[in-house]
Amino acid sequence: MISEQVARKTSLWELLRRRPGLQALVLLLPSLFWLIVFFAFPLLIVLVYSFLRRGPYGQIVWDFNLENYGRFLDPLYLKIFLRSFKIATLTTVFCFLFGYPMAYWMATRPRRWRNALLLLLMIPFWTNFLVRTYAWILILRDTGLINNVLMSVGLIRQPLPLFGNDFAIIVGLVYGWFPDMVLPCYAAIERLDFSLVEAAQDLYANELRAFARIIFPLSLPGVIAGSILVFIPSLGAYVTPDLLGGAKSVMIGNIIQNQFLTVRDYPFGSAISFALMTLMLIAALVYFRVGGRTL
Amino acid sequence: MSARAAGAPSLQGVARCGSRLGRIMRLMFTANGLMSYLFLYAPILVLVIFSFNASRFVTDWAGFSLRWYAKLFDDAAMMAALKNSLIVAFASTLVSTLFGTMTALAMERYEFFGKLGLDALLYLPIIIPEISMAVMLLLFFILARIPLGITTIIISHIAFNISFVTVVVRARLAGMDRQLEEAAQDLYANELKTFWRVTLPLMMPGILAGALMAFTLSLDDFVITFFTAGVGSTTLPLRIYSMVKLGITPEINAVSTVLIAASMTLVLFSLLLQRERRTEKVRNI
């Protein structure tokens, strides 16, 4: 009996040993199960739901149509989509304007400093996003730090409108995704061959010209990768507009939340969510194309 | 010159020219760099400083005090949220680290059909917007009639953490020297023994880094938790959010400071563990 069990066990082990394909399957099974049931399947549900319709009593009506996607053109939603694109674009531009010189500066420090500078950049990035966004309320609101200081100094009489608008959202988003711009730019600049710059200078190009003609064009893949990494999460932002934008400044993420938790129009919410995901996927493909993965 | 001898592509060339334009440019780069660090750290400093404020008015300084920290411990709802947060973080880290490590091994050491597709499936939870992942899980739980609560939060956290752990552990595996494993087999260790005695110990820093990252992501997650939580399963970020919505209090600053300190410590450890080989790619996601 016992020897039979041992024999069976050994043969099972032998089988596993001889067949690498089986080993890989055993290793993958748990994750595969989890990702299919709790990720791929929900994704499919959202896709199917986006073509359905909500009935008058909140029930789901099974007639396939493109109505939900047509509703994107409703001026009410169109306005919010356009605002989201505007905010995400401005966020990307500001991240670039400050992030690229930052990356250049970091990449041109002595080697022994660079890792410390990178670490210093990463640390805030990995701390709680909600909490860091909340901190901006303390700084920007009417009775916040900036307005308090400016008013007590006597520079202004009325608090500046820094909070509860697009400006506050952009500040919060730039703050949140700044390292995502700096890191790819840094990686692109750091691997540049700086002897090219010296060659240009030997040929009497001044610093500005050497920078504009050599360094910047060569680091462009990093800039593109960084822009995608900033634009994507900015467009899909939810916490930042919710906390800093107030009732007036709403973005795509807030409509999705509204459809699911307040209006309970799951099909329409699914359609917006799916459209957002598709945009992200296209951007991600571009990112990998540009070589973002190796950066 | 010594920096160049070390192979550092620095601005030595520009410095040599030392024209006025070059000096101004370097000054502006430095100023921008320092200002950027200030921008990154100022909000955190503001939070930390005002968490020690004696005043009940958040941004009026009235002397040093620990009263808001003391108040945290008396706040039953806050302590319940802390407990929930820790349960979720530990459970999701345990499962996702195990699953993620197994996946990393399969992806890095085996060739099989559909590998590219699986790679895409693994990257998706990292790429798609949090809000999209949150609502699709919510819809799934509603349709599957799984009551929202701590279980659904844990399920969801595992779903995004598997990908992060896999990425981190894979990076470690890819950088590992396979000669040691070959040496072990040359010395007649069988596959299992080689794995336990050589491969696994070598993978350990990667696994630990992945686990720490998963723990931090779980502890800090707000959006996905917000949509998959039910009554009585409030975590710390959810508690902070509902407090912020009701009005700013110094107590929020105190709990925020605790959370920031916790994730900074965890992440620092995780990054140091990953650093060993990949200093140039601190965040390779």
* pLDDT tens-digit series, residues B110-141: 888 888 899 989 989 988 899 999 999 999 99
B121 in A contact zone (CB under 8 Å) = yes
**Inter-residue contact A239 to A130 (CB < 8 Å):** yes
Tell me which of B17 and A230 has the higher pLDDT: A230
Q: Is residue B231 pLDDT above 50, yes or no?
A: yes
Confidence of residue B194 (pLDDT cuts 50, 70, 90): confident
Residue B194 Cα, gap to closest chain A Cα (Å): 13
Instruction: Give the chain A residue whose CA is nearest to the CA of B166.
Output: A31
Q: What is the pLDDT of residue A58?
A: 72
Domains of chain A (ranges, CATH numbers): 2-49 (no CATH), 70-294 (1.10.3720.10)
Residue among A115, A123, A208 whose CB faces B267 most closely: A123
Instruction: Give the chain B residue whose CA is nearest to the CA of A259.
Output: B135
**Inter-residue contact B267 to B212 (CB < 8 Å):** yes
Which of residues 47 through 66 in chain B touch A, CB cutoff 8 A? Answer: 47, 50, 58-59
**Phi, psi at residue A187, to the nearest 5°?**
-60, -40
Q: What is the pLDDT of residue B184?
A: 82
Residue among B41, B59, B253 whose CB faces A124 most closely: B41
**Phi, psi at residue A246, to the nearest 5°?**
70, -165
Average pLDDT over residues A69-95: 94
Identity of the amino acid at A143: T
Cβ-in-10-Å burial (0-12, 13-18, 19+) of A124 comes to buried
> Do residue B130 and residue A269 have CB atoms under 8 angstroms apart?
no
A255: β partners: none
Confidence of residue B280 (pLDDT cuts 50, 70, 90): very low
Chain B residues closer than 8 Å to A193 by CB: 9
b/e map of B58-68 (b: 16 or more CB within 10 Å)? Answer: bbeeeeeeeeb
**ipTM of this predicted complex?**
0.86
Q: Is residue A96 pLDDT above 50, yes or no?
A: yes
Average pLDDT over residues B276-280: 48
Domains of chain B (ranges, CATH numbers): 2-51 (no CATH), 67-275 (1.10.3720.10)
**Inter-residue contact B42 to B222 (CB < 8 Å):** no
Instruction: Give the chain A residue whose CA is nearest to the CA of B61.
Output: A145
Q: Is residue B279 pLDDT above 60, yes or no?
A: no
Q: What is the pLDDT of residue A3?
A: 61
Residue B19 Cα, gap to closest chain A Cα (Å): 8
- Report the candidate in B34, B277, B262, B31 with the shortest Cα–Cα distance to residue B176: B277
Sign of the C-alpha dihedral computed for residues A179, A185, A190 and A191 taken in this order: positive
Q: What is the pLDDT of residue A127?
A: 85
Sign of the C-alpha dihedral computed for residues A93, A94, A100 and A101 taken in this order: positive
Confidence of residue A196 (pLDDT cuts 50, 70, 90): confident
Q: Which residues contact A73 (CB under 8 A, 6 or more apart)?
A: none
Identify from A17, A204, A207, A278 which residue to disrupt to test chain B contact, counting B C-beta atoms within 10 A and taking the largest count: A207
Residue B107 CA to residue A189 CA, distance in Å, equals 31
Confidence of residue A208 (pLDDT cuts 50, 70, 90): confident
Query: Cα–Cα–Cα angle for B241, B246, B250, nearest 5°?
Result: 80
Q: Which residues contact B35 (CB under 8 A, 6 or more apart)?
A: A98
Q: What is the pLDDT of residue A65?
A: 86
Q: Is residue A215 pLDDT above 90, yes or no?
A: no
Q: What is the pLDDT of residue B98?
A: 97
Residue among B32, B260, B281 whose CB faces A128 most closely: B260
- Report the candidate in A90, A93, A106 with the shortest Cα–Cα distance to residue A188: A106
User: At A53, which helix (H) or strand (E)?
Assistant: strand A53-54
- Report the candidate in A1, A231, A3, A292 with the shortest Cα–Cα distance to residue A96: A231
> Do residue B136 and residue A45 have CB atoms under 8 angstroms apart?
yes
Q: What is the pLDDT of residue A41?
A: 96
Question: Mean pLDDT, chain B, as a whole number?
Answer: 86
Residue A271 corresponds to which tokens in the numbers above?
A: 């359609």
Residue B20, CB-side half-sphere exposure with 13 Å CA sphere: 0
**Inter-residue contact A152 to B244 (CB < 8 Å):** no
Q: Is residue B150 pLDDT above 90, yes or no?
A: yes
Chain B residues closer than 8 Å to A201 by CB: 13-14, 17
Average pLDDT over residues B182-196: 82
Confidence of residue B269 (pLDDT cuts 50, 70, 90): confident
Average pLDDT over residues B182-206: 85
Residue among B122, B129, B136 whose CB faces A236 most closely: B129
Which of residues 180 through 239 in chain B touch A, CB cutoff 8 A? Answer: 191, 216, 219-220, 222-223, 227, 237
A-to-B residue pairs, Cβ atoms closer than 8 angstroms: 273
Q: How many CB atoms lie within 10 A of CB B110?
A: 15
**Distance of alpha carbon B160 from the chain centroid:** 12
Residue A111 corresponds to which tokens in the numbers above?
A: 């080697």
